[in-house]
A and B are shown apart, each in its own frame.
Chain A
């Protein structure tokens, strides 16, 4: 039986354990991280905007190492930990209106460098950035609606996303099977991964 009195800090992996977990990742796990990154990235054709898959998984690993995100091996699988962390980072960057690349790679002179370890390295989005973000999200949803017009299962999922419904509710409301739902969700998420904001596409 799990000891609920133990804190997350007690269970969190140390540097050596994290390093071992990274070394133990299989090729399919690397593909999983890339795929998740592609789906969560927001990079346009112009490199000065947005972030790519590699920014997300590198940042997730860095935050795990430096303790900003704790990984508890007994509670969650390492790949799930990383992908959830990537999702959280993408959400955070989107909310902050962060538009510059954050990769650990060296940058050109025209691209100011950012320090992912610096907690002060965060911007409050301006009203203009928030508006732009809103428009980009609206455009993404509109484009998906367009692309899947006539594909009833995906249309139901999109409606469910808008109404805040979960899988069980969508399945029940649409009268489809779980298998049909999963297949439709796969089509939708693949298309979402292909979409890049601001008319880009790297």
Chain B
């Protein structure tokens, strides 16, 4: 058995009917409704068209803005990563050694791909450091402790 609806629920139901009526109405009926209200149907339709066009422009502008912000974040992150990497291959290898000594993640990253630390090329070292930097597994700058116990 149905219960009595609250005024809010009745308005909801009424609005459902509004949508159904609008969807069922033909062009002539819609134009007549606008005229009844003293509005020019062509001007009304044109106004809606222009607003939808403006919404499309607004969406693209927001998306461009979001992509720009995202790109700036990536560039900044890459910049930080490269600044964090030492300048010479020897220093970079030393940094990787410290990372391996301090972090299990770093140690696994190295041993999964390379059997021996000493087999790593300079490019391998740089690439690994970049990936470890992304994972946050590099020791902080100025920390020269190799973590060995």
Q: How large is the interface on B (under 10, 10 to 19, 20 to 34, 35 or more residues)?
A: 35 or more
Of B2, B21, B34, the most chain A CB neighbours within 10 A belong to: B21
| Residue contact A33 to B48, C-beta cutoff 8 Å | yes
Instruction: Tell whether B78 is near chain A: CB-to-CB under 8 Å.
Output: no
- Least CB distance from B91 to A in Å reads 45
Majority-rule SS of A interface residues: helix
Instruction: List residues 26-69 of chain B with CB under 8 A from any CB of chain A.
Output: 26-27, 30-31, 33-34, 36, 41-42, 44-49, 51-56, 58-59, 62
| Residue contact A104 to B15, C-beta cutoff 8 Å | no
CB-CB nearest in chain B for A135:
B7
| Residue contact B44 to A30, C-beta cutoff 8 Å | yes
Instruction: Tell whether B144 is near chain A: CB-to-CB under 8 Å.
Output: no
Residues of A within 8 A of B135 (CB): none
Residues of A within 8 A of B27 (CB): 27-28, 31
- Least CB distance from B20 to A in Å reads 8
A188 contact from B14, B44, B54, Cβ within 8 A: B14
| Residue contact A34 to B56, C-beta cutoff 8 Å | no
- Least CB distance from B37 to A in Å reads 8
Residues of chain B touching chain A, judged by Cβ–Cβ distance below 8 Å, are 2-19, 21-27, 30-31, 33-34, 36, 41-42, 44-49, 51-56, 58-59, 62
Residues of chain A touching chain B, judged by Cβ–Cβ distance below 8 Å, are 15, 19, 22, 25, 27-28, 30-36, 39-40, 54, 57-58, 61-62, 65-66, 79-80, 83-84, 86-87, 90-91, 94, 104, 117, 133-134, 137-138, 140-141, 144, 161-165, 182, 185-186, 188-190, 192-193
